[in-house]
Amino acid sequence: MILTLTLNPSLDRTIEIALLDRGAVIRAAAARLDPGGKGVNVARALLANGIAGRAVIPYGGDEGRQLVHLLELAGLDMVTVPVAGRTRSNVTLAEPDGTITKINEPGTALSPQELDTIAEAVLTAARPSITPPGDGPGEPAAADWVVASGSLPPEVPADVYARLCRRFAEAGINVAVDTSGPALACAVAAGPALVKPNLDELAAVTGMAPRCVGDVVQAAEKLRAAGARAVLASLGSDGAVLVSGEGLWYGQAPVDEPRSSVGAGDAMLAGFLAGGARGPRALAEALAWGSAAVALPGSRVPAPADIDRTRVHVGPPDPARPLTSPTPKSPGEARPR
């Protein structure tokens, strides 16, 4: 089973527009409201593809109750933790050419007591239930992975994912971390089984500005030397690189008509874990799920009918292959999540 933890979940409203014209009255072509937050998206993608998963979700206020209601309607297996603050709302403006403009609220602060309650909820959800003989199948098996992902709420210390990583690893659970900035740097030093930075985040945490696949591999190896056991680097339209103790691989999965990149990295991580979380087979599955998400509107997650594995190509990386995706102007600054 795969557990996900989202410290800063959200309600995500995606509005499709013809063109973002500042200062003008813009009529929407379509709109949708989805449960959001990186761990929530991972759990939704697993659910859509019949993979056993469970989400741990702190929630608060009317927005939090609406978030939980939407997830209940979707049939998501989850553990909810009430908190004092209000769950945030995010807005995404999507243009026909695939350009995405996101407005993300900061979220609500979590107290040390609330963080401890959330961590205990994860550990409780991860433990297998002991069912007496003859009383039925019982609860799902113990969690193989915990995915700790997303931005941190205000006032939450940057080392929170690092502390959670050590706590969960002590319980024998593999930890995958998908975050950015100081939280990512702290988490890497805690030795997670996997980190999944995008290109911006990789540049920011390593102080590098990758221009080619070889630079990405070098930056990923830098994260492994700092503590991460494996690195899955998502490169947008340039594909992805996987670097681990078993080897390194590069892959692509072209998308003819991209609609929204929102949640595509989360679908990629879900596909990687669903594909066995190691080696070229898992990378291929990650690319298939991620590219399928890019072809869908808003933060919709791909279902089996959306996933085309025939377009995925995985093999040894060509170090000289240039990247078409822009890197941050300053390696010390990543775009906010």
Query: Please, what are the domains in the chain?
Result: 2-315 (3.40.1190.20)
DSSP at 138:
-
Cα angle: 41, vertex 216, 332; to 5 degrees? 80
Per-residue CA distances from 243 to 4, 176, 234, 269 (Å):
23, 14, 12, 14
CA 312 to CA 108: how far, in whole Å?
39
- Give the separation between CA 29 and CA 31, rounded to whole angstroms: 7
Q: How many whole angstroms separate alpha carbon 126 and alpha carbon 130? A: 13
What was the pLDDT predicted at 142? Answer: 80
pLDDT of 333 reads 46
Active site positions, annotated: 266
Residue 255 CB: number of other CB atoms within 10 A? 18
pLDDT of residue 337: 54
Query: Of 2-11, 123-132, 257-266, which gets the smallest average pLDDT?
Result: 123-132
Cα distance between residue 139 and residue 54, in whole Å: 12
Provide the pLDDT for residue 330. Answer: 43
Q: Residues 2-25: what's their mean pLDDT?
A: 94
State the pLDDT confidence band at 181, using cuts at 50, 70 and 90.
very high
Name residue 88's beta-bridge partners: 10
Does pLDDT of 187 surpass 60? Answer: yes
Dist. CA 180–CA 196, nearest whole Å = 10
Query: What is the DSSP track for 275-296?
Result: TTSSHHHHHHHHHHHHHHHHTS
Distance in angstroms (rounded) separating the CA atoms of residues 128 and 118 = 18
| Residue 141: per-residue pLDDT | 60
Higher-pLDDT residue of 12, 141: 12
Q: Crossing angle of helices 38-48/264-274, nearest 10°? A: 50
Write out pLDDT tens, residues 53-106.
999 999 999 999 999 999 999 999 999 999 999 999 999 998 988 788 999 999
Contact 114, 159 (CB under 8 A): no
Q: In whole angstroms, what is the distance from residue 50 CA to residue 90 CA?
A: 27
Residue 147 CA to residue 162 CA, distance in Å, equals 13
Q: How confident is the model at residue 133 (pLDDT cuts 50, 70, 90)?
A: very low
The amino acid sitting at 211 is R
Which letter does DSSP use for residue 7 in this model?
A: S
pLDDT band at 128 (very low <50, low <70, confident <90, very high): low
Helices (H), 34-180: 38-48, 61-74, 112-126, 160-170
Q: Evaluate the CA torsion angle 164, 262, 249, 281 in order and state its sign.
A: positive
Mind listing the pLDDT tens digit for each residue in 37-48?
Answer: 999 999 999 999
Q: Is the pLDDT higher at 51 or at 140?
A: 51
Mean pLDDT for all residues in the chain? 91
Of 67 and 142, which is predicted with more confidence? 67
- Helix H, strand E, coil C: the string for 185-211 is HHHHHCCCCEECCEHHHHHHHHCCCCC
pLDDT tens readout for residues 198-247: 999 999 999 999 999 999 999 999 999 999 999 999 999 999 999 999 99
> Is the pLDDT at 166 greater than 90, yes or no?
yes
What is the distance between the alpha carbons of residues 273 and 173, in angstroms, rounded to a whole number?
Answer: 13
d(Cα 195, Cα 180) in Å, to the nearest integer?
Answer: 10
Residues 214, 90: Cα–Cα separation, whole Å: 35
Q: Which amino acid is residue 72, in one-letter code?
A: E
